[in-house]
Amino acid sequence: MQVLIIDDIHSSLLNFFDQKQIAYTYLPDCKKEDILSIIEQYEGLVVRSKIKIDKNFLEKASNLCWIARAGSGMDNVDVAFAKEKGIILLNAPEGNRDAVAEHCVGMLLSLMNKLHTAHQEVKQKIWNREANRGIELQNKTVGIIGYGNTGKAFARRLSSFGCKVLAYDHKENLPSDEFAEMVSLLTLQNEADVISLHVSLNEKSRKMFNENFVQNCAKNFILLNTARGEVVDTAVLLKYLKNGKIVAAGLDVLENEKLHTLTQEQEQIFSELTALPNVLLTPHVAGWTQESYRKISEVLAEKIEKILI
């Protein structure tokens, strides 16, 4: 077994390979062309988000048996073609679910209590109490779309705030639990004061948050997106932030996160979005804490060990 690691990985995974006497090549700084020239030598691949594992890549990886992604999604992998080639796909949503859940709570409380804007004003010696009057989470209804690892972790943390939590998932017949009531998407849209997205990115979820989605929401609401930027049509988001239908937005992800490559249209939308006081932005770090960095590698080690038994 030869394993290629092409992204920065916590030492716990390297220690696992050493203990199991699995040979690995650790090249966190390598370029895509370098990887393509050597990938046929390897049976295992560990990756984060550096490159797209597309059809061309997989065709060159003639001996690849498994891909382990150090993260929660597999959207940088051509999943269908990988499965067609019989490649086992592993990821680690269990490793960063707590980090994402805590980030969501932090974003939500900051938006509801205007912490981010009040901080900036006080630094400028602006002491405006009335303009920074907040609203309480207690007795509000939070709708979680995508009730997997991160959605459930967020619901668990909301349980102490005295709010009602509704959840929708595309998987049918998921049971309600002590933290959330499973409902239809339409019910969630009718009742939610807060909508938090926790879906993986695929063709069904891409731009699922669109004009039709917002129009089906009965209340004005706060939006949280710590999933993937492409799930939200940013132009639609901006439109409804400006007219008040969307009260505020906490965004850890954007449609195009390579900000130096924005098109003219994207640049305009980004400029308007960042100028709004009711928007809170972070650079795709919700699941990227000191602890999750280690946990993700530990989860991958467990899953890799199972497929090697």
Average pLDDT along the chain, 309 residues, taken 10 residues at a time: 94 96 95 94 94 94 96 91 96 96 98 97 97 97 97 97 97 93 98 97 94 98 98 98 98 96 96 97 96 96 92
User: What was the pLDDT predicted at 212?
Assistant: 98
User: What was the pLDDT predicted at 176?
Assistant: 97
User: What was the pLDDT predicted at 308?
Assistant: 87
Whole-angstrom distance, CA of residue 194 vs CA of residue 173? 23
Same domain for 128 and 43: no
We report the CATH number of the domain holding residue 50 as 3.40.50.720
- Tell me if 290 is assigned to some domain: no
Same domain for 215 and 267: yes
Same domain for 72 and 159: no
pTM over 0.75: yes
* Phi, psi torsion values for 195, nearest 5 degrees: -125, 125
The candidate with the shortest Cα–Cα distance to 179, out of 204, 198, 157, 206, is 157
- Tell me if 166 is assigned to some domain: yes
User: What was the pLDDT predicted at 73?
Assistant: 85
Same domain for 103 and 187: yes
Burial (CB count <10 Å: 0-12, 13-18, 19+), residue 256:
middle
Catalytic residue chosen out of the listed positions 102, 191, 257, 298: 257
* Per-residue pLDDT tens digits for 127-141: 999 999 999 999 999
- Tell me if 294 is assigned to some domain: no
- Which of 27, 59, 91 is the last residue in one of the domains? 91
- Which of 40, 60, 91 is the last residue in one of the domains? 91
Q: Is 228 a catalytic residue?
A: yes
User: What was the pLDDT predicted at 198?
Assistant: 98
Catalytic residue chosen out of the listed positions 10, 97, 198, 228: 228
Contact partners, residue 306, CB within 8 Å, separation at least 6 = none
* Per-residue pLDDT tens digits for 82-122: 999 999 999 999 999 999 999 999 999 999 999 999 999 99
In the chain, how many domains are there? 2
Same domain for 199 and 118: yes
Same domain for 197 and 152: yes
* C-alpha to C-alpha distances, 83 to 58, 86, 269, nearest whole angstrom: 11, 5, 37
The candidate with the shortest Cα–Cα distance to 107, out of 196, 190, 209, 168, is 196
Q: Which domain holds residue 260?
A: 97-281
**Which amino acid does the sequence have at 38?**
I
Same domain for 112 and 63: no
Same domain for 263 and 117: yes
On whether the CB atoms of residues 240 and 195 are closer than 8 A, the answer is: no
Same domain for 127 and 74: no
Same domain for 140 and 87: no
- Tell me if 286 is assigned to some domain: no
- Tell me if 217 is assigned to some domain: yes
Same domain for 81 and 106: no
- Which of 91, 113, 128 is the last residue in one of the domains? 91
Catalytic residue chosen out of the listed positions 157, 284, 294, 298: 284
User: What was the pLDDT predicted at 211?
Assistant: 97
On whether the CB atoms of residues 281 and 241 are closer than 8 A, the answer is: no
Q: Is 103 a catalytic residue?
A: no
User: What was the pLDDT predicted at 67?
Assistant: 97
User: What was the pLDDT predicted at 192?
Assistant: 98
User: What was the pLDDT predicted at 1?
Assistant: 87
User: What was the pLDDT predicted at 172?
Assistant: 82
